[in-house]
Amino acid sequence: MAKAPSFKCSACAAQFTKWSGRCENCGEWNTISEEKALSSGPASKSLGARRGKSLVLTDLATQEEPPARTLSGVGELDRVLGGGLVEASALLVGGDPGIGKSTLLLQAAARFARNGLKVIYVSGEEAAGQVRMRAQRLGLTKSPVHLAAETNLRDILTTLEEENPDLCIIDSIQTMWADNVEAAPGSVSQVRAAAHELTSFAKRKGIAVVMVGHVTKEGQIAGPRVVEHMVDTVLYFEGERGHPFRILRAVKNRFGPADEIGVFEMTGKGLAEVKNPSALFLSERGKPTAGSVVFAGIEGSRPMLCEFQALVAPSPHSQPRRTVVGWDGGRLAMILAVLEARAGVPFIGLDVYLNVAGGMRVSEPAADLAVAAALVSAREDAALPAECVVFGEISLSGGLRPAAQTENRLKEAEKLGFTQAIAAQAAKQQGSTSLTLKQMPDLATFVTQVFGER
């Protein structure tokens, strides 16, 4: 029988069957220690040696009361939460340092407190005075939020036990320190232990716990995603530095739809809700320019328009540049290859830059056609008509697949004054809007119809 791994690296969580001084996985020294097995006695003995207690089994048909929810009153936040904050739940809010997580959660804490919840905000990064100063700037000083500046998890849990709040915010999980774990704060073992303690505390006591998590350079919440598995809901707070727009995105939600987004704007007085994101993301658009294309997208449950901008220029490098912001780099390479192979538009020797305006990040495959349109438009130096939106997925064969929720996309475009849409050919006729809908069977037809015979 293979020996179960019982040694673990406290830096990267890799598991080994034997001890060594240096972790083979991450190269750190003196981070490997033995993990104690669940059963008493040596690890080689089976679990059966000691009897556990029997579990209480219930039927699937047993009716459960839906969990109680509280609305914050901030529509953009409540929607991402799936209709408000759920009691006895654990949430993780991840994002780059400085993106506005503390600001968002302090504002949310104040809202929930005003709506009658008892809220405790624990900051492990800032002193209570600093948090109070921020609250002053945000105009929240009258909100009955309880503050603490602490990193010792044992003291925090004791306080929570005594105070029994409805909501506790931990800012951030990387600063928390559990004294029963021998590792530095911020290490995988500490983050995992702290998140585990807080999550089980939330379930046991019926309170909602929100943990802030800083994201590492690779875009992961430190602690190889262990925290993501533990909690009920994972929200990411995204945005580009230099742009005021921030997007709160649900990437996992046990109590509501994932992929839902909320849009905020960072102002001098904190985060403001953006009720009409399409109008905002298109606000900087001037008259039609080559390389600019408006994509009619869907984010979660609602339509959202945004602008793709492409620039194509002769490359001085032997390996031309491909630079993307707000869209997947691999997907761009695929679209460039399909344009060349199936529509006869080569990009050899050309640098390609692609950007989504306003700091928005798009991941829908339906944006393929808008990206292709922006690339060809930039390359040919020919603008698309100003009042035109584009959407549709491109397959490797050069065919176009219709996107879901076509009608919602068209309605949003109509609302914002667009008169034309270019999309894939759909089997059934789409509902009625005043837009002229041009349906294309494949990429080659799209290129010749829009940019002329080549």
Q: Is 39 helix (H, G, I), strand (E, B) or coil?
A: coil
Q: Among 37, 71, 157, 266, which residue sits at the site for ligand TYD (rule: CB under 6 A)?
A: 266
Residue 99 contacts ligand TYD per CB under 6 A: yes
> How many chain residues touch ligand TYD (CB under 6 A)?
15
Is residue 76 within a helix (H) or strand (E), and if so which, with residue range? helix 75-80
Secondary structure letter of residue 253 according to DSSP: E
Q: Among 10, 102, 151, 278, which residue sits at the site for Mg ion (rule: CB under 5 A)?
A: 102
Q: Among 21, 97, 116, 314, which residue sits at the site for ligand TYD (rule: CB under 6 A)?
A: 97
Phi, psi of 328, deg, nearest 5: -80, 130
Name residue, tokens 């996107």.
Answer: 403
Which segment (143-151, 203-211, 267-275, 310-318) binds ligand TYD by CB under 6 A? 267-275
Residue 52 or 98: the one with the smaller Cβ distance to Mg ion is 98
Q: For residue 35, what are its two tokens?
A: 């993990």
Which segment (42-50, 63-71, 94-102, 391-399) binds ligand TYD by CB under 6 A? 94-102
Q: How far is CA 240 from CA 100, 165, 219, 279, 368, in A?
A: 11, 34, 14, 18, 22
Q: Write down the least CB distance from residue 12 to Mg ion, Å.
A: 25
Q: Among 70, 72, 103, 151, which residue sits at the site for ligand TYD (rule: CB under 6 A)?
A: 103
Q: How far is CA 454 from CA 268, 313, 344, 451, in A?
A: 51, 19, 8, 8
Three-state SS letters, 357-418: HHHCCCCCHHHHHHHHHHHHHHHHCCCCCCCEEECCEECCCCEEECCCCHHHHHHHHHHCCC
Q: Is 63 helix (H, G, I), strand (E, B) or coil?
A: coil
Residue 102 or 433: the one with the smaller Cβ distance to Mg ion is 102
Give me the 44-83 binding string for ligand TYD, x by CB under 6 A, dash otherwise. Answer: ----------------------------------------
Residues ≥6 apart with Cβ < 8 Å to 167: 85, 109, 112, 117, 118, 119, 120, 207, 208, 209, 210
Q: Write down the least CB distance from residue 137 to ligand TYD, Å.
A: 5
Residue 196 binding: pick among ligand TYD, Mg ion, none (C-beta 5-8 Å cut-off by kind):
none
Residue 107 contacts Mg ion per CB under 5 A: no
Query: Is 438 buried (19+), middle (13-18) or exposed (0-12) by CB count in 10 A?
Result: middle
Residue 174 binding: pick among ligand TYD, Mg ion, none (C-beta 5-8 Å cut-off by kind):
none
123-142 positions binding ligand TYD, by CB under 6 A: 134, 137-138
Q: For residue 93, what are its two tokens?
A: 């809010």
Q: Among 21, 48, 268, 286, which residue sits at the site for ligand TYD (rule: CB under 6 A)?
A: 268
Rg of the chain's alpha carbons, rounded to an integer?
A: 26
Residue 269 binding: pick among Mg ion, ligand TYD, none (C-beta 5-8 Å cut-off by kind):
ligand TYD
Binding site for Mg ion (CB under 5 A): 102
Binding site for ligand TYD (CB under 6 A): 95, 97-103, 134, 137-138, 266, 268-270
